[in-house]
Structure 1
Amino acid sequence: MNLILEEVRAALWSVWNRRWLALGIAWAICLLGWLAVAMVPNSYQSEARIFVQLDDVLAEQIGIGGASRERDIERVRQTLMGSVNLEKIVRSTRIGDEVTNAAQMESAVARLSEDIQVVNEGQNLFEISAVSGRSDYSDSENAQLAQVVVQRMIDIFREENLGGSRGEMRETIDFINAQLESRQAELEEAEQRRLEFEALHPELVGGAASVLAELNSSRSELRGVEADLAASESALAAIDSQMASTPRSLLTPGSGGPQAALAQAQANMAAMRARGLTDSHPDVVALSREIASLREAAQADGGASGTANPAYTSLVSIRSQRLATVQGLQSRAAGLRSEIAGITANLAQEPGVSAEAQRISRDYEVLRQQYDELLQDREQLRLRGQVENERSAVQFEIVDPPSTPRTPAAPNRPLLLLGVLIVGLGAGAGSAFALGKLGSTFATVSQMERAFDLPVIGTISHAVTEAGRAVSRRRLKYFTAAAGGLGVLFIVLLGAEFVQRGMLA
């Protein structure tokens, strides 16, 4: 700790011993620095905030949603800093008074783009700021120019979202109308080609794809008809089998004739079997022979006797219906087979014609689909345009109008003046301390002992006469006056800065 204090005392002695050098360097640096600070022009910043309302129920119903409007505003925010809009600002302000050629305009636009900022502070809040610090303008002119630039930016922002969007809507509708006219002419030509082709080849209407679809449909229908036909034929065979085992008339005992005798014999046979007699029993064998002879006699008689069987009559009616169904299905199946054979023959014999039919049909469908989509887009755009004209989906509200700057935004001149003063004093003291280190003298006895590694017996103090003291006091007054003058100059410059600001306000 003692060593540190000793070094501090040595440094202070070295600086004080060369105080005039340190003060001279401080004066030189402060004068140059304050002159440089005075040459820096003041920059004035004007700010404004606008609120953009995006919510609109009617706009959302027709497809102008909040997301769409946000994209539009983001696009406008990006294009707002474009060279075209900046050139409008240059020409509408006093900046354009000195612009006489394209090179100067490009330079003015480039400088203006650095001085303007558009910041999105929230979902619907935008801040527009402009800085003006031109050396050829006065402070009041720079402050007024910054405010005018911000106001022009607000005007352009409004024009881009209202007038610009409406103009773009009209241009878009005109473009779609031109495209519709072109598509309509192409669609009419394609339809005429298709009609001519269908007149020459009616069997290939719709192209190969349509013919193949028709072929697949016919084959599917044929499979269904064949399945129904098989079921109907099976039902008809069942009816035929049932009719073969069903008598046409019913014979009753006592009715007389061969038919009555046959019925009596069959009744006796049923009674014998009921008693358990087998076919090898003599009575059964004899009665079987009798039944056979009676059946022959009944057939020879022609069945004149007996009662008509109603079950047989019903089966005959059912068979007639099923037979008609089978015949109808057979006819339909034959027609489908003939149709399939004709379609297959056309496809096999004329592959080029089929390909042409497919191409014509495809071109027509593509053109028709494009025409329908364009027509729908045009109607939607017309509706959107009407809504935007009568009830704008974007509403502006200026939250904070362009401010009139009263104090410079840059530079912070009081802080710079103080910084130059500190740098000057530090540079002077540092120079004096550095020269003391380069010299061959020692400020304290301890430094000499450490340097030579020998004990110091004693020191001789500086003897000052009365005349010398008077000279020292006079020099100290001069030094104090010079150092005080530096401080007074700093205070004067600082006061002049605040007075200048007050005059602008």
Structure 2
Amino acid sequence: MSSIYEEVRIALHGIWTRRWIALAIAWAVCMAGWLVVAMVPNSYESKARIFVQIDDVLADQIGIGGDRKRDIERVRQTLTSSVNLEKVIRATRLGDKVTDDKQMQAAVESLGKDVKVVSQQDNLFEITGFAGGGGRNDGENAKLAQDIVQKMIDIFREENLAGGRGEMTDTLAFMDQQLASRKKDLEAAELKRTEFEAKNVGFIPGIGSISTKLEAARGQLRDVESNLLAAQSALASINGQLSGTPQTIAVAGPAGGAKGALAQAQSDLGSMRARGLTDSHPDVIAVKGQIAGLQKAAAGEGGAGGTLNPAYSSLISIKADREASIVALQSRKGSLQAEIAQLSAQQFSEPTVAAEAARISRDYDVYKEQYDKLLRDREQLRLRGQVETERDAVKFEVIDPPTMPTGPSAPDRPLLLMLVLVVGVGAGGAGAFALAQLKSAYSTTGQLERSTGLPVLGGVSEAVTRVARAERARRLKWFVGGLAGLFVVLFVLLGVEMLKRGMVA
């Protein structure tokens, strides 16, 4: 704790030894700050409260009373519309230096920031107008703030009471114009969507899309492959039966030709051997000779001999049907594979087309929603206009007229002047302290000992003569006078500010 106390003493001693520098810095900062504060123009505000009765029993009864919050917002926007602000500028001193449209636009934007309309209750509004600068004196700015608020009230009364019906007509005409514009946009969006869907009918997700077609083609390919395997198995079975079935059937007897006779002779030979006759039996020898002769004759007949086998013909017919089915299935399989390859190649472009289709559809939905909302609002306004034609639904009354400012609302010059003094004194002290830190002198023996690391045996006190003491007292009076001069200047500036406010009032 003692070290902190010693450091504070050292800091204060360093500032005190450089007090004239601190005083000079304080005077420089204060004079610059007071000059800046003096150059800030005063801003005056005027306030008024008006009562706008928006309710109407008939409108509420037939269901067109509207939303109260929306009606209040409409009143607020009407008061601060660009058209009304332009009228205010032309009717007040704000329009004295406005010569072209660009200057008028800038003036309207500036006035829009200087005017506030606040809804205090459902039907009670507070209008606040500000005026300042512009090369005008304080009295002129105070009167201008009052004129701005008063002119806004007058314009609102004229347009909403005397010209309410004309405004409703203009509003309906504007709504019709907006409806026609939205209708064109909606028709263009609908045409664009129709053309895009017709051009990319196979790429848009849903029924008939590439993904759906690709999945269906793959399913058909699986069915064809299954049927092809079954047909190939059936064909193999038919071929097996054909290999074991003769094309013709040999008929015994003359009707069968040489082969028939050969078959009959072979049958007789078998029958003889079955009875136990040997090869040396005359009948067996005779039949063998006959068989040898018939074999030569049968060989001469070739394959045309005998009767066509009906079973073989039936199997041939079935085989032809199976082969035709296999060919058809193979052809269908190749076609499906080609189609799947083509659809797979086209599938890469489907996400892009789908995203574009979604964007076009989203734009169409937005236009349609805007068009439907405008159409409903137009019909509601039309019915409201018919009601207002027969009945006066708006009642207007000024509760508090525009006030005449008695003093500037901004800036708070007395507070700024005192803050400048505090900042100036603080800046002087900070400057003196910074200079003290840059010097290599030591204020106490403890500080010297800590800095050098060497023991300090003692210190020599300063001997001050009477003349030196008198000189120091005189300089102290000058310093106190210089410091007091800052407060004197502050009091003078505050007095001038109060005097100006009294002159405005």
TM-score range, shorter chain: 0.5 to 0.7
Is contact 1:11-1:433 (8 Å) kept?
yes
8 Å Cα contact 1:169-1:385 kept in structure 2: yes
Paired with 2:50 and 2:70, the residues of 1 have a C-alpha distance of 17
**Aligned residue in 2 for 1:93:** 92
> Taking structure 1 as reference, are residues 460 and 392 closer, same or farther at Cα in structure 2, changes over 3 Å only?
same
Q: How far 1:157 sits from its partner (Å)?
A: 2.7
CA contact (8 A) 2:72 2:119 kept: no
Is 1:5–2:1 an aligned residue pair? Answer: no
CA 1:446–1:402: 2 relative to 1, 3 Å: same
Q: 1:175 to 1:410 in 2, by over 3 A?
A: closer
Give yes or no for the alignment of 1:45 onto 2:39: no
CA shift at 1:467, angstroms? 1.6
Tell me if the contact between 1:42 and 1:409 (Cα under 8 Å) persists in the aligned partners: yes
Distance 1:387 1:18 in 2: 83
Spell out, residue by residue over 1:226-261, the C-alpha distance to the aligned partner (whole angstroms, 9 max, x if none): xxxxxxxxxxxxxxxxxxxxxxxxxxxxxxxxxxxx
Aligned counterparts of 1:175 and 1:82: Cα–Cα separation in 2: 16
Matched, 1:22 2:13: no
In structure 1, what is the Cα distance between the partners aligned to 2:175 and 2:111? Answer: 38
2:132 touches 2:141 (CA, 8 Å); kept in 1? yes
Give the conservation status (yes or no) of the 8 Å contact 1:50–1:126.
yes
CA deviations on 1:56-110 (whole Å, 9 max, x unpaired) are 323323444152x653442342243332221111101011111112222122112
Cα 1:383–1:7, aligned 2, differ >3 Å: closer, same or farther?
closer
Q: Is the 8 A contact 1:49 1:127 kept in 2?
A: yes
Query: How far apart are the structure 2 equivalents of 1:102 and 1:176?
Result: 27
Quick one: which amino acid aligns to residue 96 of structure 2? D
**Any stretches of 5+ residues in structure 1 without a counterpart?**
178-373
* Kept in 1: contact 2:72–2:123 (CA 8 A): no
- CA 1:395–1:456: 2 relative to 1, 3 Å: same
1:489 and 2:489 correspond: yes
Match of residue 430 from structure 1: 430
Paired residues for 1:33-112 under 5 Å: 33-67=33-67, 70-112=69-111
The answer to whether residue 31 in structure 2 is matched with residue 31 in structure 1 is yes
Q: Is the 8 A contact 1:53 1:124 kept in 2?
A: yes
1:345-404 CA deviation, whole Å, 9 max, x = no partner?
xxxxxxxxxxxxxxxxxxxxxxxxxxxxx9xx99x9888556524532121222222111
Greater shift in the superposed pair: 461-470 or 381-390: 381-390
Alignment of 1:490-505 (within 5 A): 490-505=490-505
Aligned match of 1:459:
459
SS at the partner of 1:46?
Answer: strand
User: What corresponds to 1:264 in structure 2?
Assistant: none
Residue in structure 1 matched with residue 146 of structure 2 by the alignment: 147
Structure 2 partner of 1:326: none
Q: Deviations over 1:275-322 (max 9, x none)?
A: xxxxxxxxxxxxxxxxxxxxxxxxxxxxxxxxxxxxxxxxxxxxxxxx
RMSD, matched Cα:
2.8
Q: 2 CA distance for matches of 1:415 and 1:381?
A: 52
Q: Please tell me whether the aligned partners of residues 76 and 157 of structure 1 are also in contact (alpha carbons under 8 angstroms).
A: no
Q: Which runs of 5 or more residues in structure 2 are unaligned?
A: 177-374
Residue 34 of structure 1 and its aligned partner are, at CA, apart by: 0.5
Deviation at 1:504, TM superposition (A): 1.4
Task: Name 1:407's counterpart in structure 2.
Answer: 407
CA distance in 1, matches of 2:40, 2:173: 54
Q: Distance in 2 between matches of 1:476 and 1:392?
A: 80
2:96 alignment partner, SS class: helix
Name the structure 2 match of 1:392.
392
Q: In 1, are the aligned partners of 2:26 and 2:424 still within 8 Å (CA)?
A: yes
Partner of 1:98: helix, strand, or coil? coil
Residues 3 and 140 (structure 1), Cα distance of their counterparts in 2 relative to 1, 3 Å cut: same
Q: 1:424 to 1:148 in 2, by over 3 A?
A: same
Change (3 A) 1:132 1:171: closer
Q: In structure 2, what is the Cα distance between the partners aligned to 1:106 and 1:171?
A: 23
Residues 134 and 406 of structure 1: CA distance in aligned 2, closer, same or farther (over 3 Å): same
- What secondary structure is seen at the aligned counterpart in 2 of 1:127? strand
- 1:120 has 2:119 as partner: yes
Over 3 Å counting, the alpha-carbon distance change for 1:175 and 1:118 in structure 2 is: closer
CA distance in 2: counterparts of 1:99 and 1:173, whole angstroms: 32
1:469 aligned residue: 469
Does the 8 Å contact 1:27/1:486 carry over to 2? yes
Residues 159, 167 of structure 2: 8 Å contact kept:
no
1:312 is matched with: none
Deviation at 1:477, TM superposition (A): 1.5
How many angstroms apart in 2 are the aligned matches of 1:57 and 1:436?
81
CA 1:452–1:27: 2 relative to 1, 3 Å: same
- Find the aligned partners of 1:436 and 1:172 in 2 and give their Cα distance: 74
What letter matches 2:437 in structure 1? K
Q: Distance in 2 between the 1:166 and 1:439 partners? A: 83
- In 1, the alpha carbon distance for the partners of 2:157 and 2:436 equals 69
- Give distance in 1, aligned partners of 2:109 and 2:458: 74
Partner deviation per Cα, 1:201-231 (whole Å, 9 max, x = no partner): xxxxxxxxxxxxxxxxxxxxxxxxxxxxxxx
Q: C-alpha separation between the residues in 2 aligned to 1:497 and 1:113?
A: 29
Map 1:45-444 → 2, pairs under 5 A: 45-67=45-67, 70-170=69-169, 384-385=384-385, 387-389=387-389, 391-444=391-444
Shift of 1:440: 0.3
> What amino acid is the match of 1:49?
R
* Alpha-carbon separation, structure 2, partners of 1:21 and 1:125: 59
Instruction: Work out whether residues 54 and 70 of structure 1, in 8 Å CA contact, stay in contact via their aligned partners in 2.
Output: no
Aligned-residue offset at 1:499: 1.7
Structure 1-normalised TM-score?
Answer: 0.56
In 1: Cα distance, 2:174 partner to 2:6 partner: 89
Q: 1:170 to 1:81 in 2, by over 3 A?
A: closer
- What letter is aligned with 1:489? V
Q: Which amino acid aligns with 1:94?
A: R
Q: Distance in 1 between matches of 2:456 and 2:29?
A: 41
8 Å contact kept, 2:20–2:479: yes
CA distance in 1, matches of 2:82, 2:175: 29
TM-superposed deviation, 1:469: 1.4
1:142–1:174 Cα change, 3 Å: closer
- Tell me, yes or no, if the aligned pair for 2:72 and 2:122 is still in contact at 8 Å: no
Q: 1:450 to 1:388 in 2, by over 3 A?
A: same
Q: Are the counterparts in 1 of residues 48 and 128 from structure 2 also a CA contact under 8 Å?
A: yes
Shift of 1:174: 8.6
